[in-house]
Chain A
């Protein structure tokens, strides 16, 4: 006996789109974004002759020549670890300090709050080159030239305005009554902040941390002028080793692999938090 067929879908359910062209467009967008990077990575595994060849070759004999040059001959891993230390430390300090500044600006009403808020933003308006010499002189006087501590201090100060502005908006999106409820239950403001607000802010803090990390990791101008041999980070080292009077494409490719791999790993690990953080505030609760 033939069984009757039933449509198990609720009439109120949204229509499921199965348009194949959506996937096609997505694949094309991914390709456009991914192929140049793939090509640069492939170049890193070519020898000098293949990398400078006029005819692009998708198939070639892989070579570690460029990596050997960077890692063994130039000792770039020292610059790599300098970058890791400086980026992680400056991200930690700027996000931690910036978080409390942002909280204060978002939650407390005090005289000159808007002025302070605007002043924080103006710190990002100046191009780095405008303050290069004063900062150089300050570093020289304080004995911070070519030190990791100096770079951490500088990057923390540089990224603070960004952190404060990002997080102030996010803090404002979290209703004050959540903390007030906790305080009614006997918590101090800090306990309320730690137990209620902070967990809600985690995606935003993560997203902000990723941006700060990227900015610190890629910073070039100050790293070039304020460091020499001990605290030099990856960006100036890569520029020096791969671009002389001409460009060594395979070395540049290998350098791109070395400088982007940690960031990609970092973003992949925190991807869920990042997306959640980026979308926070889009839908007002």
Chain B
């Protein structure tokens, strides 16, 4: 055998050996983490339950044990804040809602992640941070140009309707993002099938005070005009702008859906409205894209409605404007963790291309280009690929303005809106009250101090900020 043939044979043998090795071969640094235990604080929600199915696989592969502490969503924020504030180090990584990132990052509770992403000893070679959708990763995990969290799933809010009920009533629901699907269309369709005597209400709305910050906003945005987009809550000088005819019209529309609902629905939240829909007693309801599989399409638990639904965006308003809502949960390493490297090893694994795509089978959502294009997603959650372009180009991470005052603003909106729902005040009074109270909140936040020039930048006015490649963040 001459030297050329020997070299060729050796090369071929090595190639075969490389092919036989697992694609995610562990580095020495990762191997050294074997035997560690990482603690994860997570809210009790379907997308986290989907990820939990993969923990045994991770434990077997890396030898790192993952212990999850599930907390009811209602208590999650307080619990995580107390733990972070006190620096207990009990949890190595946290689930972080998109709306809390600014607060957590500004307080120094989270570890910057880019050094880990770039650490080849801890991050798999094919992790490919640039595979994440730019607006998803920047909108979810970036604060002050620094990456703090990795998104596990991100999506818009929408509406879900019973296609079979529509068909029986003689009409076919439009496609997602069809201009035909307007606020007027939705109201008319709901009215057409509304028949409470036969246990079918037209629309199960969510008017509970706490929920207005997510369930009313699609209508506040829908009633904007192309000219007023961006000025929904504040103008360029952070002056509150909510007291206007568009807000009044959107509240009136939200209220018009009351005619389909039972008299005791003033405090309905997501749980109540969803339960009515799941029981087959509502034609339509609100949804969040990450909940669709668990809430409506799981044939084992939602036998009444699974496979009979059409999932649409929230309706467009009179001027064709749709809500650019953006919601996401992400994972962030605790600053006080004693196992940061092990926590990162888990996070990079669970958000990898392979695991994220496979997790979609169980209801987890996508946040990567590759996941949106995966066959698993198309097979198990076919309602997702249709929002890919929206998440790339239309969504606005600042649809709910990400300032520390947002929680108060949202609460004011909910309280005043709910007072309209129960008939205590009218929509004009509510809009005026909102403006006054939100202005007070902003004043308390120091936005109107004369001469102040360090106010936050209103990134939603130029979304190119959020379109940077993920690897460009610090």
Contact = CB atoms under 8 A, between A and B. Distances in A.
Interface centre among A145, A228, A232, A248 (most CB of B within 10 A): A228
B46 interface: yes
Interface in B414-453: none
B300 A240 contact: no
B296 to A, nearest CB: 10
Nearest to B75: A224
Interface string B21-34: 00000000000000
A64 interface: no
Interface size class of A (residues with CB under 8 A): 20 to 34
Given A49-B303, A53-B304, A236-B72, A244 B44 contact: yes
Nearest to B43: A244
11 contacts: A49-B300, A52-B279, A53-B304, A54-B276, A132-B82, A224-B79, A239-B72, A243-B271, A245-B45, A245-B46, A246-B278
Given A137-B86, A239-B72, A246 B199 contact: no
B276 to A, nearest CB: 8
B245 interface: no
Contacts of A169: none
Given A52-B301, A145-B88, A244 B82 contact: no
B82 A136 contact: yes
Interface string A228-241: 11001000100111
B69 A229 contact: yes
Contacts of B469: none
A146 B82 contact: no
A140 B82 CA distance: 11
A52 B278 contact: yes
Closest 4 CB pairs of A and B: A54-B279, A48-B301, A49-B303, A240-B70
A246 B281 contact: no
A225 interface: yes
A237 B285 CA distance: 29
A248 B303 CA distance: 14
Instruction: Please indicate which of the listed interface residues A49, A132, A245 has the most CB atoms of chain B within 10 Å of its own CB.
Output: A245
Interface in B270-287: 270-271, 274-276, 278-281
Nearest to B68: A229
B380 interface: no
Interface in B355-369: none
Contacts of B43: 244
Contacts of B281: 54
A48 B291 contact: no
B71 interface: yes
A136 B68 CA distance: 21
Contact of A133 (B82, B91, B274): B82
Interface in A226-275: 228-229, 232, 236, 239-241, 243-248
Nearest to A48: B301
Contacts of A240: 44, 70-72
Interface of A: 48-49, 52-54, 132-133, 136-137, 140, 145-146, 224-225, 228-229, 232, 236, 239-241, 243-248
A73 to B, nearest CB: 9
B254 interface: no
B390 interface: no
Given A145-B88, A224-B75, A246 B275 contact: yes
B295 interface: yes
Contacts of B79: 224-225
B78 interface: yes
Contacts of A49: 300-304
Contacts of B70: 240-241
A224 B275 contact: no
Nearest to A52: B278
B340 interface: no
Contact of A229 (B67, B82, B303): B67
Given A48-B300, A53-B304, A225-B78, A243 B72 contact: yes
Interface of B: 39, 41, 43-46, 49, 67-73, 75, 78-79, 82, 86, 88, 90-91, 199, 270-271, 274-276, 278-281, 291, 294-295, 300-304
A241 to B, nearest CB: 7
B274 A140 contact: no
Tell me whether chain B's interface is mostly helix, strand or loop, or mixed.
mixed
Give the one of B73, B78, B278 with max A CB within 10 A: B278
B272 to A, nearest CB: 9
Contact of B71 (A54, A224, A245, A248): A224
Contacts of A132: 82
A140 B86 contact: yes
A228 B39 contact: yes
Nearest to A242: B44
A225 B79 CA distance: 6
A145 B69 CA distance: 14
Contacts of B41: 228
B425 to A, nearest CB: 30
Contact of B295 (A224, A232, A246): A246
A144 to B, nearest CB: 12
A78 to B, nearest CB: 12
Contacts of B78: 225
Contacts of B302: 48-49, 52
A142 to B, nearest CB: 13
Q: Which has the most chain B C-beta neighbours within 10 Å: A132, A137, A246, A248?
A: A246
- Residue among A54, A136, A146, A244 with the most chain B CB within 10 A? A244
A42 B295 CA distance: 23
B118 to A, nearest CB: 31
B39 A229 contact: yes
Contacts of A133: 82
Contacts of B275: 52, 246-247
A241 B280 contact: no
A248 B278 CA distance: 11
Contacts of B301: 48-49, 52, 248
Given A140-B88, A245-B270, A54 B72 contact: no
Contacts of B300: 48-49
A48 B299 CA distance: 10
Contacts of A140: 86, 88
A136 B86 contact: yes
B280 to A, nearest CB: 6
A215 B14 CA distance: 68
Contacts of A243: 44, 72, 271
A52 B274 CA distance: 11
A146 B90 contact: yes
B305 to A, nearest CB: 10
